[in-house]
Structure 1
Amino acid sequence: MDTTASACDCCCRQRIKEHFKLVEALFMAFHRNPNQQDLSWFVDMQTQNRLELDPPYQRKSVWTYRDKQFFLDTIFNNYPCPAVYLQKENTAKGPLYNVVDGKQRLSTVLDFHAGKIRIGKDFSVARLRGKKFIEIGDEDKTHFYNYIFMVEQIRSEAEVDWGEVFQRVNKNQKKLGEQELRHARFDGWLINRAESEAEDETFWRDVGVSSRAKSTRMKDVEFISILALVLLENDFVGFPQSHIDELYAKYDFNEDQLPENEADIEDAESDDFPDSEFTKDDLKNFESAFQKARNTLKAMEEHNQCISKHKRRITTDLYSLWAALVLDDDVGKMPASSLAETYITFMKGVYEAAELIKKDKPINELDPHVQVYFNNSTGAATEIELRQKRHDALTHFLKQ
């Protein structure tokens, strides 16, 4: 009999039992209380500062003016809407209700009640067109206050990752993008660094990485974090989305908890620092390299608008240019003005190739590097093999 295998099986079974005991305990401590609340209750909770629309795991506001008008139409026509999820948190000042799901709906009706939104001129209820809440009749105000929301109050007697609950609710409803779910799930260095970069750096807006639409869905944050990960991993990264999640988890630490350098890791106990080999020295090196690459891109753009003039495929082409700067030492050392002149010539060739293909004309008279780059930037352009071929073609051209 293999006693070693038997002991391993026994140990494994014991771990499984302990896992299910933990799950059972959490399940017993997690409470859901389905009920109904009329709209006036939410107005009262907000007035008393007992309704939190922006807990840490919430996403950015994404509803447009049209979305808000549509939901007000839902309210005044008494159509049903999805349930609102609230996490009940007991505080020293009394119960606080964190909005897990339903922020956009509640923000719309509360903003309308506060006079921040005016009903549109094409509203389905003619008598309400163009009016703010204070201007509508008493009967309509009563109808507004009495609108019924289905509400799920959730609370736990044990410690719960509410970001995970938020992710689960929204994943099931298939409403959020991958980066919005990361915003709820992660709260470490990488997510905060990418979000601050997207908010503070106008360059990304100038070249088309960031826009109002992209920002509301956090697509700009996702792209900037991918650029950061190319530098951090010194490799082509970005897809599949599950791989991005894994790397987010790798860099989901608090920078204040990092060791100063590798020597500190060797001298410390195993649990003194986060489960990461990253140090404050690494962080400084990253910041220096990231800012150098970004500043080179800015200088190139200022020289001849070589990036913004060719931003039709901004995520593909800027990713390739960034990778050339941070993964190829020779390219990274070249003057920005020289790079700008060479790059704009290269991109003119790429765009010319696209026009020729549209007209069913051959591209074999274009520069060979341009041909390789173009042929590997269509279809499944995010695959590593295609990225590598684009990288090789671009770096060879830039160094000619």
Structure 2
Amino acid sequence: MTSDLAQYRIADFLAWHRSGQLELNPYFQRRSVWTQPARVYLIDTVLRRLSMPKVYLRTSIDLRTQQAVREVVDGQQRLRTILDFAHDEFALTSRAGDLSGLRYSTMNEELQEQFLSYTLSVEQLLNASDSDVLEVFARLNSYTTTLKPAERRHAEFQGPFKWAVHEAARRWTPLWEDYRIVSVRDRVRMGDDSTIAELLGVLIDGVRDGGEPYLNSLYKRMDAEDEEAVNSLLARLDDLLNDCLDRLGAAIRDSPLARRPQFLMLFAAYAHQVSGIPSGDLSRVPDRGTMLEPEKAIANLRALASSLEEDDPDTLPALQRRFRAASVASTQRIASRETRFEAFTRALLGRR
């Protein structure tokens, strides 16, 4: 067996499919079926000229027809989605932004050209046996980095909640680029998606034990939620984040409060005061009150931030001392979160 890396346009795949030279269902293909949001997301990727993973084909020669036959080894769902869109079998949805509502037949000629000329990287396995194909997959898997929990969730769940989280993570670039809530390294492994999901979790469940088990259960519970309910939840998150950063951003930027565990609890305290959140796992939910003017709240928050950098914590006031101790404990556990939630609440309300 030999392999050959090549580039082919979508128009080539359409021609092969029409002539019977493309087989989408060889027996070693997975049988999973993509949801409609996933299909729309792929076409959006094509039309915006963004990249996608390689397609693997097993290519052999049919001696009777004297033509090449290409069996899809990996990439069946991507190619089936592309073919279905080209045949006008579905329209783009709001998942595609300004392209929403378009079918192939209703796109202008420029967009049709972009679609047909999009190139896919193809690894051709030439005259490969079944054993050869399995060996290729074994080698690929041996080099693949183990998926992070956020990446596994993105692959497993396909409901509106997963897509809303992902789109919000892309939309909220100020959180990552201006405030550095999540590092670039963590964003590569979808840490921004996890952070958005945690913020939504606060609005859904209140302050609870966190970590990957909670996020897994949240995605599972929300996977069947309808799109209208999810969009309403995202709109609430957007409003609260915009308001919080407008009022308190000066205390967060370039501060220890921009660290993900601190920002999450600060957001929880702010959301509770603005609109209320469920009690979650808190032993006592603080009363809601009138928040201080931004300048005074920012001063209080900066005092909490400075406590995290104090060399001699014994000199700190009691509230800051408790806040500091909770911040160096396991920040995912409810004991730490409850202490920090209370400290942020007191800072926002001006209570000692």
TM bracket (short chain) = 0.5 to 0.7
Distance in 1 between residues matched to 2:148 and 2:252, nearest whole Å: 27
Contact 1:203 1:298 in 2 (8 A): no
Residue 310 of structure 1: which of 244, 252, 255 is its match? 255
Partner residue in 1 for 2:74:
98
**What is the Cα deviation at residue 180 of structure 1?**
1.0
Distance in 1 between residues matched to 2:10 and 2:239, nearest whole Å: 46
Contact 1:293 1:326 in 2 (8 A): yes
Contact 1:39 1:146 in 2 (8 A): yes
Distance in 2 between residues matched to 1:223 and 1:201, nearest whole Å: 11
Change in CA separation of 1:299 and 1:186 when aligned onto 2, cut-off 3 Å = same
Partner residue in 2 for 1:187:
158
TM-score, normalization: structure 2? 0.56
Distance in 1 between residues matched to 2:163 and 2:225, nearest whole Å: 10
Matched, 1:380 2:334: no
Contact 1:331 1:398 in 2 (8 A): no
Contact 2:257 2:305 in 1 (8 A): no
Q: Percent identity?
A: 16
Partner residue in 2 for 1:345:
299
Change in CA separation of 1:190 and 1:172 when aligned onto 2, cut-off 3 Å = farther
**What is the Cα deviation at residue 251 of structure 1?**
0.5
Q: Secondary structure at the match of 1:208?
A: coil
Residue 222 of structure 1: which of 194, 200, 211 is its match? 194
Change in CA separation of 1:289 and 1:313 when aligned onto 2, cut-off 3 Å = closer
Residue 242 of structure 1: which of 189, 213, 216 is its match? 213
Distance in 2 between residues matched to 1:332 and 1:94, nearest whole Å: 65
Distance in 2 between residues matched to 1:248 and 1:185, nearest whole Å: 10
Residue 268 of structure 2: which of 312, 323, 335 is its match? 323
Higher relative contact order structure (alpha carbons within 8 Å, sequence separation ≥ 6): 2
**What is the Cα deviation at residue 146 of structure 1?**
11
**What is the Cα deviation at residue 382 of structure 1?**
1.3
**What is the Cα deviation at residue 98 of structure 1?**
3.4
Say how many residue pairs are matched: 246
Matched, 1:200 2:171: yes
Partner residue in 2 for 1:356:
310
Q: Which runs of 5+ in 2 are unaligned?
A: 15-21, 25-33, 43-53, 59-68, 77-123, 277-285
Partner residue in 2 for 1:369:
319
Contact 1:369 1:396 in 2 (8 A): no
Distance in 2 between residues matched to 1:180 and 1:215, nearest whole Å: 11
How is 1:44-63 mapped onto 2 (pairs within 5 angstroms)? 48-49=12-13, 56=38
Change in CA separation of 1:373 and 1:294 when aligned onto 2, cut-off 3 Å = same
Distance in 2 between residues matched to 1:393 and 1:170, nearest whole Å: 47
Q: Which runs of 5+ in 1 are unaligned?
A: 1-35, 60-83, 101-144, 155-164, 257-279
TM-score, normalization: structure 1? 0.50
Question: Which AA in structure 2 matches 1:98?
Answer: D
Change in CA separation of 1:146 and 1:308 when aligned onto 2, cut-off 3 Å = same
* Structure 1 vs Structure 2 CA RMSD: 4.5
Partner residue in 2 for 1:390:
340
Change in CA separation of 1:313 and 1:306 when aligned onto 2, cut-off 3 Å = closer
